[in-house]
Amino acid sequence: MSTQTLLTTEALTTVNARGRRPRVRMERVNWSGTIILILCAITVLLPLYVTISMAFKTTNQAVDGNAFSLPAPFSIDGFVQAWNLTTFPVGAGISLFVTAGTVVLTIVLAAFASYAIVRNWDRKLFRYSFFYLLAAMFIPFPVVALPQIQLTGLVHLDNPFGVVILATMFQLSFSVLLFTAFLRSIPLELEESARIDGASTWQTFWRIIFPLLGPMSATVGIFAFLYAWNDFMMPSLIISDPALQTLPVRQNLFQTQFSNNYNVAFASYLMAMAPAIVAYLFTQRWVMEGVTQGAVKG
């Protein structure tokens, strides 16, 4: 715990020191830069604004194709219809299951495996396992997709359970990489004192190491969350029953049927993307740190 706090404050002070450092001839606020960046930020927000405003329009207004007008009158019909058309509760439930399953399984499997690998690095089996697990970073999903479709069908995992397992396996390399790097920085003394007090390996891991991994688990978990919640390719190929599809896959409904009910489509898009955006707003720090760590370690 203390290690991580230390690391974080250190990181923060670096940021602050750098930000506050009075650069010669740059002491004043860079207003032209600020304005340019605000304009750029608008291009990011524009598609989101369009999604929200379209979602609250009536079908009559939405069909005119003017994406930038405000809803008049304000209507929630789109949400009601989208809710029924995509059977939103079922889709959201399955997306939630796939996401929660992937997050938990990824954190648990990766943390256990990483701990075993780091503490037995002098053993060939564990060292080679590390590189073996890392190899998945070099295998794009499309390469193994076809046999996976076949095999999951064969063992009756062509459903959300199968997606949880496969998604976890594709997240595993990155997560093991992050966990092992972090575990190597935890001083052995911490564990040794626990062992002198008679703690078993299991207790040492569960009571001391796993809590220490907390911040890293958060990062790993957020990435698993974003991947599992947003992915289209894997569930669309693996889950064979359309009634069991995740939210992103259900949106293709609006590309074929109901193609003129734009307000319904956008209400549906909004309901599918909102949870990830909300989750991000609450966990920004870990998302941002995670990207950096993942890239630098990878």
Partner 1 sequence: MTTTTTIVTQGDRTARRSTRRVEPIYYLFLLPSLILFTLAITVPAIIGIFFSFTDSIGIGDWSFNGVTNYVAAFSDPAILQSYLFTFGFSLATVIVVNVIAFLLAVGLTSRIRFKAGLRTIFVIPMVISGIIIAYVFNFLFSNSIPGLGNATGIEWLQTSILANPDFAWVAIVIVTAWQAIPGTLLIYIAGLLSVPGEVYEAAAIDGASQTQQLTRITVPLVFGYVVINVILGFKGFLNAYDIIVGLTNGGPGTATRSVAMTIIAGFNGGDYAYQMANATIFFVVAILISLLQLSLTRGRNAL
**Binding to partner 1 (CB under 8 A): which residues in 265-284?**
265-266, 269, 272-273, 276-277, 279-281, 284
When asked if residue 27 is in the footprint of partner 1 (CB under 8 A), the reply is yes
When asked if residue 15 is in the footprint of partner 1 (CB under 8 A), the reply is yes
Q: Which stretch binds partner 1 (CB under 8 A): 78-86, 96-104, 210-218, 225-233?
A: 225-233
Q: Which stretch binds partner 1 (CB under 8 A): 77-85, 86-94, 213-221, 223-231?
A: 223-231
Tokens describing residue 220 = 């790993």
> Which one, of 281, 222, 266, lies nearest residue 85 by Cα?
266
SS3 158: coil
Least distance in Å: CB of 92 to partner 1? 13
Report 118-177 residues binding partner 1 (CB under 8 A): 119-120, 122-123, 126, 129, 132-133, 136-151, 165-166, 168-170, 172, 176
> Which one, of 208, 215, 281, lies nearest residue 7 by Cα?
215
If the CB atoms of residues 176 and 212 are measured against partner 1, the closer one turns out to be: 176
Report 50-109 residues binding partner 1 (CB under 8 A): 50-51, 54, 64-68, 109
Least distance in Å: CB of 2 to partner 1? 22
Report 241-260 residues binding partner 1 (CB under 8 A): 248-249, 251-252, 254-255
Among 97, 181, 226, 258, binds partner 1 (CB under 8 A): 226
Q: How many CA atoms lie within 13 A of 181 on its CB side?
A: 17
Q: In one letter, which amino acid is 166?
A: L
Q: In one letter, which amino acid is 85?
A: L
**Taking a C-beta distance cutoff of 8 angstroms, is the pair 171, 223 a contact?**
yes
Long-range contacts of 128-134 (CB under 8 A, 24+ apart): 130/176, 130/180, 133/172, 133/173, 133/176, 134/173, 134/176, 134/177
